């Protein structure tokens, strides 16, 4: 029976190609506008590491001025001081832990055909790689002993390795940065991060890190962070004074494998701050936080308000398109009142008429959905071209593909309900008199 009604619907649509095209294009445009923005919204806010996001926690300590909070709502600073980061690392109370900051260094390639260039990377500890799980193409991470010995080793990102070594295995080779040679111990494979969630203080959708080196090595060489740096009082002159200051510029992550371990570490932080208060630091009330990955992303507003507003406007446009489709279907079914009356007079029930025309609406929605999917893909290409920050989240995944088709069909069926209801209530006697 379904196949019969489907055949009738297709015949009806072919009889009115212009009207059919208007309905299909209207739905496609509404679907494309809404799904383009919804895809960006979905991928921006999605959990980047769902299998362990509840175990990774971002450390915040409130060392700010007693006279004024870091944020007006009382939230603590987004980063910690070097003094506190190294103290927490040395305490080793977490299952895994990694302090880090952003670094930029000039690279002097051995290949004389390449000019020196500036590269952005990350300074961190060995645990970073087991915590955030980037994939290695060659070699692996450095170890804790190399952290302790301030070893001059480096992990290269895939793109930097391709630039310097043509994509070949470069482990054991040397890379010269800022006049210092570092031995390559590993090369990352593609690390398709939707957002750089481990360093939201420097932007969630910035370019990926091109290299990684030990925290202890970089600070031993007096390499300064190129990321966010905030101070509530002057730090004094010289490198040592800067390290001992209350300036916040270090991101600190810990991995805690159970709620009990989380409670233990939170208690440890409270005790640590209490001891620091005795030394004249941390003048503000106790305000330590341990946010997991998704909580930290929400706190930092990774999903921008602009994208939320644009998504709302896009769905409003979809509603306008559906209203237009309702009008076109109503006009189409009204013109077929005589045919409907004849079918009713010959014994067709209201249910049969309703099913036939609802299937016809579904065909329009399905066709509009496939066209809308194509337009959504083109829309995401435009987003990547116009907004470089969103290039990692302007991609369709299978979830959004399925949602596009389902949304189109459901929208068309909803748009067809009223015209179909009107069609199945045509009185046969009134039409036969005409």
Residue 347: pLDDT band with limits 50, 70, 90: low
The Cβ-side half-sphere exposure at 32, using a 13 Å CA radius, reads 22
Could you tell me what percent of the chain has a pLDDT over 70? Answer: 86
> Which is higher by pLDDT, 320 or 295?
295
Do 83 and 232 lie in one domain? The reply is yes
Q: What token pair was written down for 100?
A: 């880090």
| Mean pLDDT for the stretch of residues 184-210 | 88
Q: What was the pLDDT predicted at 41?
A: 77
pLDDT, greater one: 293 or 18: 293
* 144, pLDDT greater than 50: yes
- What pLDDT does 236 receive? 78
Q: Which domain holds residue 278?
A: 62-287
261 with 349, same domain: the answer is no
> pLDDT grade, residue 274 (50/70/90)?
very high
Residues 403 and 32: their CA atoms lie apart, in Å, by 12
The answer to whether position 297 is within a domain reads no
pLDDT of residue 363: 79
Domain termination residue (choose one: 287, 312, 333): 287
Least confident stretch, 165-169, 189-193, 202-206: 202-206
Residues 35 and 76 in one domain: no
The token pair that represents 75 in the structure block:
């939230």
Mean pLDDT, residues 157-186? 95
For the stretch 411-427, pLDDT in tens is 877 877 777 776 666 55
pLDDT tens digits, one per residue of 245-263: 999 999 999 999 999 999 9
| Co-location of 93 and 207 in the same domain | yes
Portion of the chain with pLDDT greater than 90, in percent: 49
pLDDT of 365 over the 90 cut: no
pLDDT above 90 (res 39): no
Same domain, 104 and 214: yes
pLDDT at 295: 95
How many structural domains compose the chain?
2
Which residues sit opposite 122 in a β-bridge? 102, 212
At residue 89, the 3 state secondary structure works out as helix
Q: 287, 321, 341 — which closes off a domain?
A: 287
The overall longest dimension of the chain from CA atoms, in Å, is: 100
Average pLDDT, the chain: 85
pLDDT at 345 over 70: no
b/e 201-224 (16+ beta carbons within 10 angstroms → b): bbbbbbebbbbbbbbbbbbeeebe
Whole-number pLDDT of residue 430? 47
Q: Which residue has the higher pLDDT, 188 or 194?
A: 188
Kindly give the interhelix angle for 2-15 and 17-45, rounded to the nearest 10 degrees. Answer: 110
Q: Look at 11 and 299; give whichever has higher pLDDT.
A: 299
148/282 same-domain check: yes
pLDDT at 344: 54
Among 2-11, 88-97, 425-434, top mean pLDDT goes to 88-97
Q: Are residues 43 and 66 in the same domain?
A: no
pLDDT in tens, 375-409: 888 888 887 777 766 666 667 777 778 888 888 78
Q: Would the pLDDT of 243 be above 70? A: yes
Where does the pLDDT of residue 4 fall: very low under 50, low under 70, confident under 90, or very high at 90 and above? low
Say if CB 416 and CB 360 are below 8 A apart.
yes
382 with 250, same domain? no
Token pair of 321, please? Answer: 């398109």
Of 238, 260, 287, the position where a domain reaches its end is 287
| 158 and 280 inside one domain | yes
Determine the 3-state secondary structure of 224 from DSSP: coil
Does residue 92 share a domain with residue 29? Answer: no
- Domain assignment present for residue 52? The answer is no
Q: Is the pLDDT of residue 8 over 60?
A: no
Q: Is 292 inside any structural domain?
A: no
Give the β-pairing of 289-292 and 117-124: unpaired
Q: Which of 88-92, 233-237, 349-353 has the largest mean confidence? A: 88-92
Residue 132 lies in a domain: yes
User: Is 253 or 351 the better-scoring residue by pLDDT?
Assistant: 253
CB distance 39 to 376 below 8 Å: yes
Report if pTM > 0.85: no
Return the higher-pLDDT residue of 338 and 280.
280
Q: Is the pLDDT of residue 100 over 80?
A: yes
Is 295 part of a structural domain of the chain?
A: no
The residue with greater pLDDT, 399 or 273, is 273
Pair (79, 203) in one structural domain: yes
Mean per-residue pLDDT, 283-288: 93
Considering the domain boundaries, does residue 57 fall inside one?
Answer: no
Give the pLDDT score at 206.
76
pLDDT, tens only, 56-68: 999 999 999 988 8
pLDDT in tens, 130-142: 999 999 999 999 9
272 and 60 in contact (C-beta within 8 Å)? no
Residue 310: burial class (beta carbons within 10 Å; 0-12, 13-18, 19+): middle
Is the pLDDT at 432 greater than 50? The verdict is no
Those residues with Cβ within 8 angstroms of residue 130's Cβ, 6 or more apart along the chain or in another chain: 96, 141
In a domain, 56, yes or no: no
Q: Is residue 296 part of a domain?
A: no
Say whether both 104 and 249 belong to one domain.
Answer: yes
């Amino acid at each position: 029976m379904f196949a019969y009604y489907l055949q009738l619907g297709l015949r009806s649509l072919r009889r009115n190609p212009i009207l059919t095209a208007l309905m299909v294009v209207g739905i496609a445009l509404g679907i494309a506008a809404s799904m383009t923005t919804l895809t960006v919204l979905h991928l921006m806010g999605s959990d980047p590491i769902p299998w362990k996001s509840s175990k990774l926690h971002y450390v915040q300590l409130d060392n700010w001025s007693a006279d004024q909070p870091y944020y007006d709502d009382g939230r603590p600073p987004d980063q910690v001081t070097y003094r506190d980061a190294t103290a927490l690392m040395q305490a080793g109370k977490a299952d895994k832990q990694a302090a880090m900051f952003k670094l930029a260094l000039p690279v002097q390639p051995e290949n004389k055909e390449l000019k020196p260039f500036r590269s952005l990377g990350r300074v961190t500890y060995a645990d970073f790689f087991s915590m955030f799980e980037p994939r290695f193409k060659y070699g692996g991470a450095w170890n804790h002993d190399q952290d302790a010995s301030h070893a001059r080793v480096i992990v290269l990102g895939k793109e930097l390795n391709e630039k310097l070594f043509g994509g070949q295995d470069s482990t054991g080779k040397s890379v010269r940065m800022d006049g210092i040679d570092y031995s390559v111990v590993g090369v990352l494979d593609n690390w398709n991060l939707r957002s750089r969630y481990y360093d939201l203080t420097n932007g969630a959708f910035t370019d990926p890190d091109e290299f990684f080196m030990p925290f202890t090595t970089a600070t031993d060489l007096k390499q300064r962070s190129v990321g966010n740096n905030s101070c509530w009082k002057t730090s004094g002159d010289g490198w040592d004074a800067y390290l001992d200051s209350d300036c916040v510029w270090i991101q600190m992550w810990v991995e805690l494998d159970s709620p009990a371990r989380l409670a233990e570490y939170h208690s440890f932080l409270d005790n640590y701050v209490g001891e620091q208060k005795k030394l004249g630091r941390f003048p503000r009330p106790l305000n330590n936080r341990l946010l997991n990955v998704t909580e930290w992303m929400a706190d930092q507003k990774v999903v921008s308000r602009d994208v939320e507003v644009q998504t709302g406007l896009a769905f409003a446009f979809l509603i306008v398109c559906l209203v237009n489709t309702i009008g076109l279907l109503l006009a189409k079914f009204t013109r077929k009142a005589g045919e409907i009356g004849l079918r009713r007079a010959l014994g067709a029930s209201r249910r049969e008429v309703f099913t036939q025309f609802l299937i016809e609406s579904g065909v329009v929605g399905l066709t509009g959905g496939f066209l809308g999917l194509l337009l959504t893909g083109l829309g995401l290409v435009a987003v990547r071209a116009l907004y470089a920050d969103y290039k990692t989240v302007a991609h369709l995944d299978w979830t959004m593909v399925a949602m596009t088709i389902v949304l189109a069909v459901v929208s068309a069926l909803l748009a067809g309900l009223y015209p179909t209801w009107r069609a199945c209530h045509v009185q046969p006697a009134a039409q036969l008199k005409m």
